[in-house]
Structure 1
Amino acid sequence: VPDDVDPCQPNPCQEAHRGVCRNASGAAQCDCDPGYALDGEICVPEDPCHPNPCQEPHRSVCSVVSGQASCGCDPDYLFSDGHCVRPCDVQPPPCQPPRGLCANRATDYVCLCSPGYLEAANGDCVADPCSPNPCASERRTACVRDGASFLCRCDPGYREENSVCVRDRKTACSLDGWCFENPVPRTENFLGVWQYDENNAFISGGAGTLLHFDGTDLVSIPLPTEQELRRIHGTSLADVFVTGKGGLVLHYDGYGWEALPQGPFTDLNGVFAVAPGKIWVTGGRGTLQFFDGKDWQAPIDTGNQLDTWWDVWAKDSIDVHAVGDFGALMDFDGERWQRGNIGANVHLSAVRGLPDGFRAVTSANGDVFAWDGSAWSTLNSMLGFLISALALHGPDQILLSGYNLMNSNGLVVRLQGSEWTTFGEFPGKMTYGIGGDAEHPLAVGGNGLLRRHDGTEWKEIIAGPRARLRSLWTDGGARVFACGSGGTLLRRTAGGWSEEHHGSLYLNAVFGRPDGCAWLAGAQGRLMRDCGAGFGSVSLPAEVKGDLLAGFVAAEDDVFVAGDKVILRGSAAGFAPMTVPVEARFTSIWGSSASDVWVTGEGTPPPLLHFDGTTWSRADAPVLQLSELVRLWGRAQDDVYAVGEDGAVAHYDGTAWSLVPTPVGEDLVGISGNSEGEIVIVGLMGTILRKNGAVFSRMYSGTTIGLFSACLHPSEGWFAVGEDGAILRRPR
């Protein structure tokens, strides 16, 4: 086209809305009319909202006004002072004290009572008479609300006596009358700890255990349950909650403990009190639920009924957070719950927060995550550290409790500043909880772990010997002995149980005749005797080097001792191995006379042998082929019992062995009885069975600690011993 020729004259652009002609290097180019834009090969009306020009936070709704884009607030947000905010964030604040806590409701809000105020029956917010706490007398700091007034009652673990609060030292006893004599006040698998102030800490655990520590000593608080108690929390000394197995929730109101109405859930894990009488709980089967002081509210939909939720924490009633399986988070802002996630392969175990919005979350994989108000970050990942609980004192001051999978030790790890260090290690004990202040925390865990850091080291709070006790014996008079780990021998005296040591190896059995000497059998071929002058070693053949595990005294000069691959017979003058038809680790021996002796041991079928005065022979007991029976006791030649694995009890009637039904499935490891036919069997998980008639029935032992041996004193009653120095007595 010649340079002097205009290709747009006449206008060749005749398509709809595309009538603007432009000279493009001598060629006509058809552009869209004003207000239109090219969409493929056609011109369409131009959208000022595409692409969306509205990029301010919470102001992304674009609309066209007079052909121009106009930016509006997102759903549930309002325009205030040049910004889009939630209804509770408008200025000036819509809620003022005493109803100064604002909760969003879509584009509206509700005003709730401010901290320090309570909602009265008429709906008014009235000042909480117990906030701040007006009760300051010594050991009388439990403030109980009485309408608009208050009453000052003794701290938990104390009772009023002549207008003075004194320590309430009640013996830790079960519902069936088994009471701890050692350690004091008791041992147990301790699962939870909550410290209100330096003079008041609560410890919860198995078999309905609740203890109170006043900064100096420890007492047991009797409760009307033997359910496992897991976590504990409260708002004051007159408002304490503890959760447990079977959906149990107990509440202390300053007067006593009562169970809350049963909710629609099973086992509970976490509990957090957000206001007097009001709590959030978490548990199995997707449980996340609120108790409003009167009733349980509808369960929160956590998205998966199979999830277990392990812990919950709340800043206040409109800022609540829960953690659970598979990295799951649930967050409540006062209006709605939202589910989040921190990694699909981590099980979140604990959550705690600070007033400024900082939160810490831990996992059973050893992870520590932090929320800074806008995003999650990883503070630490400790391989092999199963974290069970955390105490948060600041963003750079954190205590963690748990279990070191590498060496099977309980562990407390501390963050101080930027440095993570091992703050405490407890061999062979799982650490389940950590509480108290940063410098003097309390650590609780399995097998009686309950220690307080005094600023320098961890100190035991529970008093008394703590050996693992394997055997118990009494002569029916002044002598009551228990023996166990570390060469420990305990003697019952008028002042309690005295401790002595005979070497450092296990003492497996103590036995004797009521009118004779006491014997001790121990590890690595150790045998001792005490005839009144103290225990001294008894010489054994040089080839006897295995563990000796049980004994039977037919006469002072005719003693049977059973052990690892050996049965010995003799006296203090000398012993010799007996010929037996089977090689086994023999764990128990009993006889009615020197010509009627039974022995059993480890293995299935059990190495159950009988000695007739001349020869050992294997028992003909086909009914016992699938049983492991480790302990024997008998009342007569035709009335012998054996107990063992999975609740097995067998009886010999002088002719044949038969299995006896029992109501338990735990391993049974100890048995004793009397001539009247009363029998007590003990076992793992605090199991105690009693036969006082035709059948065995379970008794409440008051503990989940393993029990290994039992005996009857004619005037003092039944005794049972077990893990962590546990000595129980049930008066007759």
Structure 2
Amino acid sequence: MSSAHNPSRRHFFRQLASRVEEAAPVAMPWRPVPEAHAGDGDVLWSGWAGAGEVFVVGDEGRILHFDADRPGWHEQPTPVPLPLHGIWGTQADSLHAVGWMGCILHYDGEQWRHVRGGVVNDDTGRYAPCEENTPLFAIDGNVHGQAWAVGDEGRILHFDGEGWQPEASGTRINLRAVACAPNGRVYAAGGEGTLLCREPNGDWQPMDCPLSTGFHALLVLNDDELLLAGGRYFVDQGGFRGELVHYRHGEFHNLAHESGLPRLRALRAYKDGVLLVGDKGHLLYLHNNKVHRLACNTHHDLMDIVTLGSGEALVVGDFGTLMTAAPDFEQALAVPHKEVAAQSRWEVMASPTRRQLWGLWQAHDGRMYACGDTGTVLRLEEERWVSMPAPDEQLAVHCLWSCEGSGLLAGGQEGRIYRFNGEQWQLHFDLHLHTTILAMWGTGPDCIYAVGDEGLVLHYDGLGWQRLASGTTSALYDLWGLDARHLLAVGDFGLALRYNGEQWKDFNTGTEQFIYSVWGRGLNDIYAVGLSGTVVHFNGQRWHTMPTRLQQDLLSISGNPAGEVFAVGGQGTVLRLGQGQWLRETAPTEVSLRAVCATRDGTVYAVGDQGCILRRSPKPE
């Protein structure tokens, strides 16, 4: 199945904790999907979802189908009784399923047709010992309709839009995962630390992985950046131990070598992190540099994750397991209708980078800046975004701030803050900890605050940076202030901290959802946004929740002096506040938007994944 490229709010994998937390950042517990019946002894291996339909495939050629226009699950007739391990397609009337004995099926919207594999020996009536019958275990494709399937003995098949043809992998090791990247590359992974990359010219090349992990799943995070999951059998432990591996620019790092994870079977971008499933009912969520164990009330092996258009997901596995965290499966399947308050004025701007962009800043002189991964800092010059020198090409920049007399400051990974002197960046502060700075705010060059991971709060008094006690170890994602005695920081599980110039105190928002961003016009008009479309408003006396009818996470909020307020988030979500209600606007992208800035002249900018930059021009007078 296809996977959404929606990495987390930060690069959690750089500082992944080695322990598994007994916590549930997703509000709803995972439970069985009603009316979905499969054989009690059968494994459901994988699934696909799109446009109000879901297909789940499993043992004995089982194919379960759910169509929102014809409620209820229905088992579809299948031409072969072979286990089906993977399914992918561009739309519901053009699906491919792969499985045991090299079986490939195609669905045209009406029926499933046997295309390849499952060759039977005419003399014996048994499956023939031929190359075409090599078992296949995974499939993925791209937006152009091309697909790749992988399986035992290094088997790779390519679908060019018309037919399937084998490609030389250069290995005989069993392959268990395949994923297509936006830049045209295709990755395949399998046993003994095997990782292959298909270049645009069609050649598969081995990637030198020093680890011997048996990979079962991989997720493309960015150009030349992957997250891989699997496990190895250890005799002294008498079982498998799960492993999570990060690859970036030629370097591999085992992120969970001492975490006690089970063997991991699948991983998918989910909400603001990564969802992982594994043996013995382990359902895990990678978020905020920690692996959280989610409650799902099953001990059966979980095999795959099916992401839904709304941002929710299904999990499938052994003994016919089919589960979701959504309170209403049918509602979660439907992508929310985009309510257009007015004809959309959002347009895509040319971007000089494909890197993930985390932040936006309008300087005191009106100039716009953006920042992101690998030290990316961009400056808007008239109508064109240009790249500035990188403070540090190894570290992500998450926030920018400036005022007259301060110069441009950049904060990010490793607790470092850099200052741009007009020609080059200089290190302004180093915390000497693996802690990410996520937001900055100040009143002037001698009063600047910064917040970040693990409850980090810093203050600059014009002479140096000092760490302040926050009273929390939660990540603090954003910071808003009215003046030096009125600041607000937001974080996990509805956390808000307010500062009175002397100390930080809890400020209950009335929600248990993660809060990612905060903005206000004044002390009696403050908005905060977060997980699963959460919006809360403070009217000077209390917080209350505002309805949005969204499943997508909201990651940033901003307003301008004209009174306009905008929020952006997952899957190209854009909201505008109009007459006390949040109206959804159409955006020309489906990638996650991670920062928004409503400027003083009425122009609004938004940035996000894959270097995406959007602009909303002011309405003509």
Give the alignment's TM-score, normalised by structure 1.
0.44
Say which SS state the counterpart of residue 705 (structure 1) adopts.
coil
Equivalence for 1:427:
224
**CA shift in 2, pair 1:661/1:284, >3 Å:** same
User: 1:579, CA displacement in angstroms?
Assistant: 2.8
For residues 378 and 566 of structure 2, what CA distance do their matches in structure 1 show? 21
Equivalence for 2:480:
590
Structure 1 residues 157-184: Cα deviation after superposition (integer angstroms, max 9, x where no partner): xxxxxxxxxxxxxxxxxxxxxxxxxxxx
Equivalence for 2:215:
none
2:493 is aligned, of 598, 604, 608, to 604
1:555 is aligned, of 436, 444, 450, to 444
1:412 aligned to 2:198?
yes
The answer on whether the counterparts of 1:663 and 1:698 sit within 8 Å (CA) in structure 2 is no
2:505 is aligned, of 603, 606, 617, to 617
**CA shift in 2, pair 1:415/1:726, >3 Å:** closer
1:634 is aligned, of 520, 526, 535, to 520
2:155 is aligned, of 364, 367, 375, to 367
For residues 408 and 699 of structure 1, what CA distance do their matches in structure 2 show? 44
User: 1:577, CA displacement in angstroms?
Assistant: 2.0
Q: How does 1:239-278 map to 2 (within 5 A)?
A: 266=53
Equivalence for 1:296:
none
**Counterpart amino acid of residue 730 in structure 1:** R
Say which SS state the counterpart of residue 498 (structure 1) adopts.
strand
| Count of aligned positions | 384
2:607 is aligned, of 685, 702, 721, to 721
The answer on whether the counterparts of 1:408 and 1:429 sit within 8 Å (CA) in structure 2 is no
**CA shift in 2, pair 1:361/1:508, >3 Å:** closer
The answer for unaligned runs of 5 or more in structure 2 is 7-47, 56-62, 68-75, 119-132, 142-146, 159-164, 209-219, 229-267, 270-349
Equivalence for 2:565:
679
For residues 520 and 185 of structure 2, what CA distance do their matches in structure 1 show? 50
**Counterpart amino acid of residue 427 in structure 1:** D
**CA shift in 2, pair 1:583/1:617, >3 Å:** same
The answer on whether the counterparts of 1:562 and 1:588 sit within 8 Å (CA) in structure 2 is yes
For residues 702 and 387 of structure 1, what CA distance do their matches in structure 2 show? 28
Equivalence for 1:691:
577
User: 1:385, CA displacement in angstroms?
Assistant: 4.9
For residues 420 and 557 of structure 1, what CA distance do their matches in structure 2 show? 55
For residues 602 and 99 of structure 2, what CA distance do their matches in structure 1 show? 53
**CA shift in 2, pair 1:404/1:703, >3 Å:** farther
User: 1:474, CA displacement in angstroms?
Assistant: 0.8
Say which SS state the counterpart of residue 516 (structure 2) adopts.
strand
Equivalence for 1:707:
593
**CA shift in 2, pair 1:705/1:409, >3 Å:** farther
1:489 aligned to 2:361?
no
Say which SS state the counterpart of residue 486 (structure 1) adopts.
coil
For residues 415 and 201 of structure 2, what CA distance do their matches in structure 1 show? 48
User: 1:638, CA displacement in angstroms?
Assistant: 1.0
The answer for unaligned runs of 5 or more in structure 1 is 1-188, 192-204, 207-243, 248-264, 269-282, 288-299, 313-320, 352-359, 371-375, 390-398, 432-445, 448-461
For residues 554 and 548 of structure 2, what CA distance do their matches in structure 1 show? 11
The answer on whether the counterparts of 1:408 and 1:428 sit within 8 Å (CA) in structure 2 is no
The answer on whether the counterparts of 1:681 and 1:690 sit within 8 Å (CA) in structure 2 is yes
1:324 is aligned, of 97, 105, 110, to 97
Q: How does 1:142-541 map to 2 (within 5 A)?
A: 266=53, 285=65, 302-303=78-79, 310=88, 323-327=96-100, 328-329=103-104, 342=118, 346-347=136-137, 349=139, 362-363=149-150, 367-368=155-156, 382-387=173-178, 401-404=186-189, 411-412=197-198, 421-422=205-206, 427-428=224-225, 464-475=352-363, 477-494=365-382, 496-499=384-387, 500-504=389-393, 505-513=395-403, 517-530=407-420, 535-539=425-429
Sequence identity, in percent? 21
User: 1:348, CA displacement in angstroms?
Assistant: 6.8
For residues 502 and 140 of structure 2, what CA distance do their matches in structure 1 show? 64
For residues 649 and 548 of structure 1, what CA distance do their matches in structure 2 show? 24
**CA shift in 2, pair 1:400/1:698, >3 Å:** closer
**CA shift in 2, pair 1:415/1:660, >3 Å:** closer
Note the aligned Cα RMSD (angstroms). Answer: 5.0
Structure with higher helix content:
2
Give the number of the structure whose alpha-carbon radius of gyration is greater: 1
Equivalence for 2:272:
none
**Counterpart amino acid of residue 382 in structure 2:** A
For residues 329 and 558 of structure 1, what CA distance do their matches in structure 2 show? 64
User: 1:703, CA displacement in angstroms?
Assistant: 1.9
For residues 535 and 387 of structure 1, what CA distance do their matches in structure 2 show? 40
For residues 166 and 402 of structure 2, what CA distance do their matches in structure 1 show? 65
Say which SS state the counterpart of residue 374 (structure 2) adopts.
helix
